[in-house]
Structure 1
Amino acid sequence: MKLTHTKAVFLMVAVTLMWSIAGVITRHLEHARSFEVTFWRSFFTVLSLLVILPFFQGRVVFARIRRGGWPLWLSGICWSVMFTAFMVALTLTSVANVLVTMAIGPLLTALIARVFIGHRIPLRTWLAILVAGAGIASMYGAQMERDQLAGTLVALLVPLAGGINWTITQRAHAQGQNVDLVPAVLVGAVLSSIATLPLAMPLRASAHDIGLLALLGLVQLAIPCALAVMCARVLKAPEIALLALLEVIFGIVLAWFGADEVPGQTVLAGGALVIGALVANELLGWRQRA
Structure 2
Amino acid sequence: MTVMNQPSLGTDGHRFGVLFVFTAGVLWSTVGLGIRLIEDAVVWQILLYRSASLSLLLYVFIRMRSGESPFAQIRRTGFPAVIAGLSLVAAYSGGIYAIQATSVANAMLLFATAPFMAAVLGWVVLREPVRPATWVAIAVAIAGIAIMVADKSGGVALKGSLAALGSAFGFAVFTVALRWGKSGEMLPSVFLSGLFGIIVT
TM-score interval w.r.t. the shorter chain?
A: 0.7 to 0.9
Cα distance, 1:20 vs structure 2: 2.7
What corresponds to 1:262 in structure 2?
Answer: none
Cα distance, 1:10 vs structure 2: 6.9
Q: Distance in 1 between matches of 2:16 and 2:125?
A: 36
2:192 to 187, 192, 204: 187
What corresponds to 2:152 in structure 1?
Answer: 143
Q: Distance in 1 between matches of 2:125 and 2:14?
A: 33
* Shift in CA distance, 119/125, structure 1 to aligned 2, threshold 3 Å: same
* Shift in CA distance, 142/74, structure 1 to aligned 2, threshold 3 Å: same
Equivalence map 1:1-290=2 (5 Å)? 15-59=24-68, 61-144=70-153, 148-173=157-182, 178-196=183-201
RMSD over aligned Cα, in angstroms? 2.7
Give 1:66's aligned amino acid. R
Give 2:60's aligned amino acid. V
* Shift in CA distance, 7/72, structure 1 to aligned 2, threshold 3 Å: closer
State how many pairs are aligned: 190
SS in 1 for 2:86: helix
- Could you tell me which runs of 5 or more consecutive residues in structure 1 were left unpaired when the two chains were aligned: 197-290
Identity %: 27
* Shift in CA distance, 167/13, structure 1 to aligned 2, threshold 3 Å: closer
- Could you tell me which runs of 5 or more consecutive residues in structure 2 were left unpaired when the two chains were aligned: 1-11
Give 1:85's aligned amino acid. G
Q: Distance in 2 between matches of 1:127 and 1:154?
A: 25
Q: Distance in 2 between matches of 1:28 and 1:159?
A: 22
Cα distance, 1:138 vs structure 2: 0.8
Q: Distance in 1 between matches of 2:34 and 2:192?
A: 24
Give 1:181's aligned amino acid. M
Q: Distance in 2 between matches of 1:179 and 1:85?
A: 28
* Shift in CA distance, 45/184, structure 1 to aligned 2, threshold 3 Å: same
TM-score by length of 1: 0.58
Q: Distance in 2 between matches of 1:111 and 1:158?
A: 16
Give 2:103's aligned amino acid. S
Cα distance, 1:90 vs structure 2: 1.7
Q: Is the 8 A contact 1:35 1:88 kept in 2?
A: no
Cα distance, 1:66 vs structure 2: 3.0
* Shift in CA distance, 123/10, structure 1 to aligned 2, threshold 3 Å: closer
Give 2:187's aligned amino acid. V
